[in-house]
Structure 1
Amino acid sequence: MVVQQRKLIDIRSLSLLDLKDKLTAMGEQGFRAKQVYEWLWSKSCTDFDQMTNLSKALRETLKDNFEIRDVKIRESQVSSDKTIKSSFTLYDGNVIEGVLIPTPDRMTACVSSQVGCSLTCKFCATGYMERKRNLQADEIYDQVVLIAKQAEEKYNQPLTNIVYMGMGEPLLNYSGMMKSVERITAPDGLNMAAKRITVSTAGIAKMIKKLGDDEVRFNLALSLHAANDEKRNQIMPINEQNSLQALADALKYYYAKTKNPVTFEYIVFHHFNDELQDAKELARFCKHVPCKVNIIEYNPIALADFVNADADKIDQFAAYLRSQDIVTNVRRSRGKDIDAACGQLAIKETVV
C-alpha cells in the first residue's frame, strides 16, 4: 500500500486568527500563535528550529503540519555604482529579480510583484516575458528582508525605502501587493512607514480607484511615458483599455480619497516623445492632480531599438515642466552595467 504524504500548510498564508484556530485544534494554547506569528513576521524567521522560546514539542508539531516557503537568493551582482541585483528562487522553482539601490541619503529596495508580466510594454525587458503567476505576499516580503540584509551587510546602512518597480504589474496582483504592504508596515511585521513605500503602475484605471477606496497611505507612481493616447498606445498596449482620460479620472478619484500626490514617471525617448509639444502635453496632464514628474533615463534592452534622448533635449524638457511650476527630477540610471536598471529586469529561464 502506498502511503500518501500529507500536504503541509503554508504557514505564512494564514492570518493570526487562522493560525490560532489551527494550533488550538492541535491542542496547543492559543497564545502560542502570537509567538509564532512574531517569529515569522517581526523576526523574519524561516526555520521552526530557530523559534527558541517555543518548546521542542511545539516546534516538532509545527514542522509536522506547516512549511515556510521562504525565498532564497540564487545569485547577486554588484554594479560599479554599488547597486546590487539579485535573482531569487521561489519555492516552486520560478525565479524573479530584485535590486538594492544605494544613494548617499537612502537605501532603496526595488521588488517584484509577479513572475514575468502580461503587459508587453515595448521598452521593458520584463514585458517580453510570459507572466507565470502572481507573487504571494510573503514572497514580496522576503525580497524586502533579503535586500535589507544586503544593505546592512554591504553598506552598514538600514533599508529606508521600498519601490514596487521590479518585475510585474503590482495592481494586477492587488491582494498580494496589499497584504505584503500590510505585513511590511504592521507593528507586528517590519514596522516600516507606509510613506517610505512607492507602488508603480503602468495604469490600471479601476485598480487605481480601488486604491482610493482602500485609502492607502503609500505613494503611487504612474509610468506614463507619453501624454498622448496615440503615442502611448504604441509603447504601452495597456493604454488601449486604459486611456489617458480614464487614468485622469481614476487619479482624480484616488486623490480625492487619499490626498496623496502622484508621481509621473516619464522616459524621454530619442525622436519619439522628446519634443516641446510632448512636454506641453505632459504639463497639461499634470494639471489633473497634485504631482511631480520623474524623468527617467532609458536603459537599452536587446529586444527593443529605443534610444535615450540627448542630454540637452532632456534638460530642455525638464526646464519646460519647471517653467509650468511642476516639480521635476531627472533620475540617472543605477546598475545599468549589470542589467539592474529600470526596465532591464528579466529572467532568461523560468520554471512553470
Structure 2
Amino acid sequence: MVSNLDAQVNEAGYRSTQFNEGKFHNTNETQPPSLSKTLGIFWRFMTESKVSPVPSKPLPMVQQTPSMLAQLPDTQVHMIKLGHSSILLKVYGKYWLLDPVFSKRASPFSFAGPERFQETPISLEDLPPIERILISHNHYDHLDKDSVLALIDKTQEIFVPLGVEGDLAQWGVNKAKIKVFDWWQEHVDSESLVAFVPTQHFSGRGLGDGNKTLWGSWVIKAGEQSLYFSGDSGYFDGFKDIGRRYGPFNYTFIETGAYDKDWADIHMTPEQSVQAHIDLNAEVMLPIHNGTFDLAFHAWYEPLERVSKAAQQHQVTINTPIVGEVLTAGQSHNNAFWWKSFMSNG
C-alpha cells in the first residue's frame, strides 16, 4: 500500500527517480519550448483561422440524477463520461471520480479561458458520496480547484501525483484524505488495486511552477475488471511497459484531442492514441480529452472522426458515448457516431 504524503517527502526533496534539480522529468526527455516557439504558438492562436472550433448547436447529453445512479446494479462496474477527461465510475456500488472538472472554464480565471461547450450531466451538488478521486496532473483541465473544494467534504480520499499535495494543502484540503504517488506505486486494499504509472507530459498552473509536480496515468483493477485512464501524454514506449506489467485491460480511457504539430511530444494524435491502446493490450477504447473545450487548432469533432477511422483500420473496438451515457463493463454498447450530424455545420 502506498504511504501517505508525509513519507513521500524529505528535506532533500522527493525520493523519485523522476525528480532532479528541483523539477520532475519524463523518462524520454522532451524539449522545453523556447521563448520564440512559445511566442509563435501565441501568434497562431491570435491570427490563425479555425474551422469549427466549437459546436454551432447544443450537443446531445443524457442527464443523470442521484436516483438513476443508485439504480445501477452494485454487482458491476459502470462508466459515465462527464465531459473532457472527467469520468464517473460506479465500482461495485462505490463512486469514483477521475479528473473531475465541473467549472465553466478550464482556466485560472472565471472570466477568460477555454469555455466548456455544455454543462455536465449531473451537478456537483447531486453527486453521491465519493469513495475516491484520482487526479492525473495539475493542469486546469484536469485539476479544478472549485470542483475539488466542492467535493472534498463528501469524498473519502483523493489520490494525486507527487507535488500536487502542495496545491491541495494551499486550498485547505485535509492531509489525512490525500495519498501521494510516484510512478509505479500501488495502493492495494481488499476491493481494488490502483497504480500510478508514467506518461510523457508536463505540469504547471502558473508562470513559475513548471514541472514542480509529477504527471501520470492510472491503472484500476477491481473484481474482474481492469481499467486504464491515460491523463495526458505524448506517444511513448511506456504504454508497452504498462501493458506488460498490468495488462490486459478491459477498457482504456485514452487522451484523444488537443493535439498539434507544435506540441507533438506531449499530446498524441488520434492515430497514436489507437496505437497506445494496442500497446496497452486492451479490449475496448473510450476516447477522452475531446468534445468539451477548445484547446487546439483542429475542429472540435476531428478527434472523434479520426480516432474512429484509425480504430476501424486496426480492428480496435471503440466506444464513443455521448456525455452522461452509462456504459456497463462486460455489456455490449450500441455505438453511435453521434458527432457526424454536426460536421456539416460545426
Tell me which interval the TM-score lies in, with the shorter structure as reference length.
0.3 to 0.5
TM-score normalized by the length of structure 2? 0.35
Q: Is the helix fraction higher in 1 or 2?
A: 1
Q: Is the strand fraction higher in 1 or 2?
A: 2
Q: Which has the higher contact order (CA 8 A, sep 6+)?
A: 2
TM-score normalized by the length of structure 1? 0.34
Which protein is bigger by CA-based radius of gyration?
A: 1
